[in-house]
């Protein structure tokens, strides 16, 4: 969770904002880790422990155009951008047609609020300087990965199985974020 001080700094003079937020950015790792843990727990609680039998075939039919695991995120800024992009894209995908998705509205709302908050806070700790080509590429590849997920959902007509697989993938992304946080 983000400390109260974080919210308090909003609306204070510019200089102070920079001071306060750069101080808070020192704690970026620790609250990102907490927030990511909360996301994972919520996601886990909504997912079954096993893949439903009728979805096995779909699992094999999903082949993303990107493998995020081999992305070079050794730079700190690059890792932050990757995390932020995953959070935003996850929020986006969880706003698609959810008729067949087994989440209640309250959990979904909490999930979105967490993602948005995390993404906003992370944004405050990103460098304002123009992004290197490598960072732009990271962002692009994360987007492309999520486009595969979106296409898959659409192609499977937002079926229960498609949502199962999307959730498995998003879980992998959150586990990846855990690794990325160590780069920060
Ligand atoms: C949402 O998905 C369900 C289940 O696949 C489908 O029946 C419904 O028509 C879809 N709704 C929209 C607005 O696409």
pTM for the model stands at 0.85
Of 96, 99, 153, 162, best ligand 1 pocket probe by most atoms within 8 Å of the beta carbon: 99
Report d(CA 35, CA 49) in Å as an integer: 22
C-beta 99 within 6 A of ligand 1: yes
Q: How far is CA 112 from the centre of its chain?
A: 10
**Residue 13 scores a pLDDT above 60:** no
Mean pLDDT of 139-164: 95
Q: Which atom of ligand 1 is nearest to the CA of 159?
A: 5
Q: Which atom of ligand 1 is nearest to the CA of 97?
A: 1
- Please state the domain extents for the chain: 4-181
Report d(CA 141, CA 149) in Å as an integer: 13
Confidence of residue 12 (pLDDT cuts 50, 70, 90): very low
* Local structure of residue 103 (DSSP, 8 states): -
Per residue in 63-96, pLDDT (tens digit) is: 888 888 788 788 889 999 999 999 999 999 999 9
CATH 3.20.20.210, domain 4-181, yes or no? no
Q: How far is CA 159 from the centre of its chain?
A: 22
- Please name the helix (run of DSSP H) or strand (run of DSSP E) that holds residue 178, with its range, or none: helix 160-181
Determine contact, residues 28/107, Cβ cutoff 8 Å.
no
Most confident of 28-32, 87-91, 102-106: 87-91
Q: Name the 3-class secondary structure at 165.
A: helix
C-beta 148 within 6 A of ligand 1: no
Q: Which atom of ligand 1 is nearest to the CA of 157?
A: 5
Record the tokens describing residue 135, joined without a space.
């960072």
Q: How far is the CA of 45 from the centre of ligand 1 (A)?
A: 24
C-beta 154 within 6 A of ligand 1: no
């Amino acid at each position: 969770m983000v400390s109260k001080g974080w919210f308090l700094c909003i609306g204070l003079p510019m200089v102070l904002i920079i001071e306060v937020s750069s101080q808070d950015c020192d704690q970026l790792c620790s609250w990102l880790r907490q927030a990511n843990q909360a996301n994972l727990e919520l996601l886990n609680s909504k997912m079954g422990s096993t893949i439903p039998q009728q979805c096995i075939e779909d699992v094999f039919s999903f082949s993303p155009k990107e493998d995020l695991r081999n992305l070079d995120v050794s730079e700190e800024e690059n890792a932050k951008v990757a995390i932020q992009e995953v959070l935003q894209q996850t929020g986006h995908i969880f706003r698609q047609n959810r008729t067949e998705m087994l989440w209640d509205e309250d959990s979904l709302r909490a999930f979105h609020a967490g993602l948005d908050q995390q993404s906003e806070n992370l944004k405050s700790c990103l460098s304002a300087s123009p992004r290197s080509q490598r960072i732009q590429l990271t962002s692009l590849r994360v987007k492309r990965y999520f486009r595969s997920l979106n296409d898959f959902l659409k192609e499977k007509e937002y079926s229960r199985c498609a949502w199962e697989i999307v959730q498995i993938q998003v879980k992998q992304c959150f586990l990846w974020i855990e690794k990325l946080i160590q780069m920060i």
